[in-house]
């Protein structure tokens, strides 16, 4: 007997998530010394110095298991967000919290609604549990909430709303979200993914946590983006205590490492680092937007820390040629967008190199046509 006969049929349709190429891998494969990675929406300033100090100190205690309840981190988050600790679940990144939602609530035959395109982890978690993914395409590559509400059936178990959306950087307003939630039947979960929440400066953008009083709305946030702790994997969800209690039933006992917990507490308190990160993102967004326009390329206006732009050539071609020249971007074919690329906002120097290399690659590909 082979394992083929033992495997759960539900997982056969899952396509493993392919993360952005790490710098070290590109250096090894191509023999490059200097590589700029603008593929995974990481903070180019890195983590807060306070977080680094706290993490360094915590290394001395790594022979001890971490606090399985993340007590200090939940206390800090509760104070920051104006919620109760029992309304928070902390995960090994938001990816784990998404998976916990699926494990706790999704069954074969359930339907889960997402936008098209959007973050791929929703599809993975849905298919893992044998539920059916329902994709709803919007007119502007963002969330058409009216169409998503209209897609609800008696089988709908949950709806994921990525706001701002990844990979487009588009957002839905407070008024749009309020009207949407009011239309959704009370037995349907609504997961609002706000991984890029801290970057948005539009006054019409909602704080998803304000919707937790509805009872079935879970808002996700992360320390991987503006807080610069992607390598430590710390994300969290905020919702009704009963919802959080169910998620805790399927959570592993020591799911968030000790170093990540203390670093997150320190990062949360360093408002100056967040302010510096925001200012760099503002300048970088203008720099890259202007550069893309000068190259004759169109892009989707973004409220996050990345830009999705179109190219006259297949995104995978542009990606490969740019990588050979030491710049890693994210070809959007994985989101069903074969002619578009997502680029993270970097430092001024990184952005300049990206634009220079992009111009060079476009010229090379034009000659090959």
DSSP string for residues in 295-329 = TT--EE--SSSEEEEE-SS-HHHHHHHHHHTTEE-
Phi, psi dihedrals of residue 136, rounded to the nearest 5°: -125, 115
Residue that finishes a domain, picked among 270, 297, 315: 270
Domain boundaries, position 219? 49-270
Look at 88-102, 135-149, 263-277 and tell me which has the smallest mean pLDDT: 135-149
- Domain with residue 246: its CATH number is 3.40.640.10
Domains: count for the chain: 2
Q: Which residue has the higher pLDDT, 83 or 142?
A: 83
Are residues 246 and 312 both part of a single domain? no
- Give the pLDDT band of residue 213 (cuts 50, 70, 90): confident
Are residues 229 and 326 both part of a single domain? no
- pTM score over 0.85: yes
Cα–Cα distance, 156 to 133 (Å, whole number) = 10
- Asked if the model's pLDDT at residue 17 lies above 80, the reply is no
- State the pairing for strand pair 36-37/327-328: parallel
pLDDT at 13: 84
Are residues 28 and 94 both part of a single domain? no
Cα–Cα distance, 51 to 64 (Å, whole number) = 20
Look at 25-29, 152-156, 204-208 and tell me which has the smallest mean pLDDT: 25-29
Are residues 87 and 155 both part of a single domain? yes
């Amino acid at each position: 007997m082979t394992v083929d006969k033992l495997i759960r049929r539900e997982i056969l349709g899952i396509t493993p998530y392919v993360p952005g190429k790490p710098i070290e891998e590109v250096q090894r494969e191509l023999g490059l010394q200097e590589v700029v990675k603008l593929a995974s929406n990481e903070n180019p300033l890195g983590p807060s110095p306070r977080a680094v100090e706290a993490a360094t100190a915590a290394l001395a205690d790594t022979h001890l298991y971490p606090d399985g309840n993340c007590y200090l981190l939940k206390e800090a988050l509760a104070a920051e967000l104006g919620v109760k600790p029992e309304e928070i679940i902390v995960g090994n990144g938001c990816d784990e919290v998404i998976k916990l939602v699926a494990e706790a609530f999704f069954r074969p035959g359930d339907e889960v609604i997402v936008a098209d395109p959007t973050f791929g982890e929703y599809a993975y978690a849905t298919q893992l549990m044998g539920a059916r993914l329902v994709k709803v395409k919007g007119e502007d590559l963002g969330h058409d909430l009216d169409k998503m509400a209209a897609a609800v059936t008696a089988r709908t178990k949950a709806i994921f709303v990525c706001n701002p959306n990844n990979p487009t950087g588009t957002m839905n307003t407070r008024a749009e979200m309020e009207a949407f939630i009011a239309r959704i039947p009370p037995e349907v979960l609504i997961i609002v993914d706000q991984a890029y929440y801290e970057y948005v400066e539009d006054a019409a953008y909602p704080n998803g946590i304000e919707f937790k009083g509805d009872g079935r709305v879970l808002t996700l946030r992360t320390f991987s983006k503006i807080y610069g702790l992607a390598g430590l994997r710390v994300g969290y969800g905020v919702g009704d205590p009963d919802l959080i209690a169910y998620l805790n039933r399927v959570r592993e006992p020591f799911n968030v490492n000790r170093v990540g917990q203390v670093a997150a507490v320190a990062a949360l308190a360093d408002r100056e680092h967040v302010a510096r990160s925001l200012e760099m993102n503002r300048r970088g967004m203008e720099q890259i937007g202007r550069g893309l326009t000068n190259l004759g390329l169109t892009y989707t206006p973004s409220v996050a820390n990345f830009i999705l732009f179109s190219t006259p050539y297949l995104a995978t071609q542009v990606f490969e040629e740019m990588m050979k020249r030491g710049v890693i971007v994210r070809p959007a074919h994985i989101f069903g967008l074969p002619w578009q690329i997502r680029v993270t906002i970097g430092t001024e120097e990184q952005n300049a190199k990206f634009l220079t290399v992009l111009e060079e690659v476009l010229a090379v590909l034009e000659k090959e046509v």
